[in-house]
Structure 1
Amino acid sequence: MNVLTVLLALLSALGNGAASVLQRRAAMDQEREQPGGQGLGHAVRRLGRLLCRPYWLAGGAAMVVSAVAQVGALAVGRLSVVQPLLVSELLFTLVVGSLVFRQYPDGRTWLAFVMLAAGLALFLIAADPSRGQATAQNGRWLPVGVAVVLAVAALAAVARALHGAARAAVLGCATAACFACTAALIKEFTGRFAGGVAAVFTSWPLYAVCVVGLLSFLLLQSTLRAGTLAASQPALTLGDALVSIVLGWVLFGERVELGLRILPEAVGVALMAVGIVGLTRSPAMAGGWDADGPAAPEPSAAPTTDIPGRRDGSGDRGRAP
């Protein structure tokens, strides 16, 4: 595997994890300091103030770094390597969240952390994806695009008949297919850099990335509303990685080792699945870190005299509503 590809993919995963934690912290702080009101105007003003908060701006910067790093990773590396490495976003979320919220995971969460990391490493070493072409083979995108659209439509139709965890898992699979397709389109887009600026902006992949990326984002919101992260995240995270491997093979001619290596590859996928479930049940994913925000002072039993200029140095923490 190309070292630069690995580093850029891990940087992208770190950026995504950091953005989630930092922007969640900004939302917590705002809710604690400026409780929500009613009306559209109030909501718009709150959003504007949120976007100016240092934590939110830091999260936005992390998102930009993540996007640039992913584009760079896909430009120099294989789709079947980059997307599986993005599974490590959960690991970085755990680490960054521990630092930002100052609440550290328990032993079971760290065990899940180790299992996910070990499974990811085992799978990539056993699969050893080969280098393919920079752009898709002629005529491959149309049938692949039709197949992805049909698969996502079928999964969405099935999800409408389900409820709770089952619905979240099925929508997670649909969202995973969309994200994998978005990554494949980014690789197709970056593969045309050699043709110059005109080739990049006059060809269809750039605009397809925008459309499919937006649809992926909207489908993700439905997935997150359908059920818990413990139900949707394994299908979403692993599905993205596995569908990306298939797309890398079909579109770009990338290959993974099979034969006797299927066994360690399957063990690696199983370890990742168990690790993902463990992490999604941890405070980092389940929202337990929300308890880190400073609570409002408890009313005292006896009146006290205010001292001008004095600030309450209490370190008490309370859950943001």
Structure 2
Amino acid sequence: MVPRDALPSPVTRPPARLTGAVTRRPATAVRRLKGPKLLAEASRRQETVVIELAAVFAVAGAASNAVGTAFQRKAASASSHGGLRLLAELVRRPFWVIGMCGVVCAALFQSLALVNGPLALVQPLFILELPFALLVAAPLMHKRLPRSGWWGVGGCVAGLAVLLIAAAPHGATDHAPLTRWLPALCLGLGAMAAAVLLARRSHSPARRAALLAAASATGNALTAALLKSASGTFADHGFTAFLRSWQTYGFALTGAVAVILLENALQAGPLAAAQPALTIGDAVVSLTLGMTLFDERVRTGWWLLPEACGALLIVVGVVVLSQAVQHITVAPVTAGQRHPAT
């Protein structure tokens, strides 16, 4: 027999802490630790996808509205009637029918964009309607966009990209309490009434056009806010709740008033005076309503610098494009005479 002392001693594994090995935690503990982080990351990704989808719908809405406007102007420019006779004639024109289809598609795209994204993102993207309209109207009217118009298009697109990337609007909801709606509606409608009164007392055509366009812009922003709330009601509770919502009838009323004010603005003075107030006013008021009604947020701090640069580029681009419109659009023929577009 081999003595017990001669047998080799059993090899013992050193403790894990001496070899540098890391002990594993139970799977349940890992899930408890990683669960909230994974959920937060998934929520952020989902919000990013939804906002990107809203941006796509908004751009599609701006393009559709631009196509509708351009084709309607083309159809009206060849008519010599006015009032109801003009409408009866336009209904039979293919260009006008295409234009109306564009307007309807724009309304649908805007509703989808507002349901999925912040008001502060969707409405500023509709600034693209102006460059889109010029790019479509130029070949329709058999005219060439002037070089300054291309600079205006570039300024609008670049400024809008810089502004929205820097601001990064987020945190939208579809509904707001009545305690927020009442002050917003009172201030918005009051501003519209004040602009109309000032326009009636003004003797300058350009100033009248700018004031009426500013009133129309405020109406457009209120319409978009009410439409966002009504669309959210439809998405959450169905068509019956949509019909029972006061916001549904509110956006129909404010939208009609905004259209009437816009028509008066275009008749009161040159488009070069009305378009900047209309385009910039809509974006500014929509941003304010989004933050006050729907708890939307934008980045502040040093981000304000690129945001200001983007806003300045947009203003310059809109002003340049508004002047370029004079070389492209053609006014309808009325009373046997052709007047320059204003």
Taking structure 2 as the reference length, what is the TM-score of the superposition? 0.78
Residues in 1 aligned to 2:232 and 2:86: alpha-carbon distance in whole angstroms:
41
Q: Does structure 1 retain, via aligned residues, the 8 Å contact 2:141–2:328? A: no
Q: Does residue 1:17 correspond to 2:52, yes or no?
A: no
Shift, 1:320, TM fit: 8.6
Shift of 1:101: 2.7
Contact 1:83 1:244 in 2 (8 A): yes
Tell whether the 8 Å contact from 1:137 to 1:252 is kept in structure 2 after alignment. Answer: no
How far apart, CA to CA, are the structure 2 residues paired with 1:156 and 1:43?
24
- Work out which of the two has the higher radius of gyration on C-alpha atoms and give 1 or 2: 2
* Pairing of 1:1-321 with structure 2 (within 5 A): 2-31=51-80, 36=81, 44-162=84-202, 163-193=204-234, 194-282=236-324, 285-286=325-326, 288-290=328-330
Q: In structure 2, do the counterparts of structure 1 residues 144 and 43 end up closer, same or farther at CA, with 3 Å as the change threshold?
A: closer
What is the distance in 2 between the residues matched to 1:258 and 1:26?
A: 46
Per the alignment, do residues 160 and 252 of structure 1 end up closer, same or farther by CA in structure 2, a change over 3 Å counting? same
Q: Is the 8 A contact 2:114 2:228 kept in 1?
A: yes
Determine helix, strand or coil for the equivalent of 1:132: coil
Give the residue type in structure 1 aligned to 2:57.
L
Q: Structure 1, unaligned stretches of length 5 or more?
A: 37-41, 292-318
Partner amino acid for 1:254? E
Alpha carbons 2:117, 2:172 under 8 Å: kept = no
User: 2: distance between equivalents of 1:205 and 1:22?
Assistant: 31
Q: What is the CA deviation profile of residues 177-212 of structure 1, one whole-angstrom value per residue up to 9, with x for unaligned ones?
A: 111000000001011121122211111111111111
**Contact in 2 for aligned 1:28/1:320 (Cα 8 Å):** no
CA shift, 1:98, in A, is 2.6
Is contact 1:10-1:85 (8 Å) kept?
yes
Alpha-carbon distance in 2 for matches of 1:213, 1:145: 14
Unaligned runs of 5+ in 2: 1-47, 332-337
Aligned AA (1:215)? V
Q: Could you say what the CA RMSD is over the residues aligned between the two structures, in angstroms?
A: 2.0
Task: Give the whole-Å Cα distance in 1 for the aligned partners of 2:330 and 2:67.
Answer: 16
> Alpha-carbon deviation of 1:239?
0.7
1:308 counterpart residue number: none
Aligned partner letter, 1:219:
L
Distance 1:43 1:262 in 2: 48
**Corresponding residue pairs, total:** 284
Q: Counterpart of 2:256 in structure 1: which amino acid?
A: L
Residue identity opposite 1:17 in structure 2: A
- Give distance in 1, aligned partners of 2:294 and 2:98: 36
Measure the CA separation in 2 of the matches of 1:192 and 1:75: 9
Distance 1:43 1:260 in 2: 53
What's the offset of the Cα at 1:289?
4.5
| Partner SS for 2:299 | coil
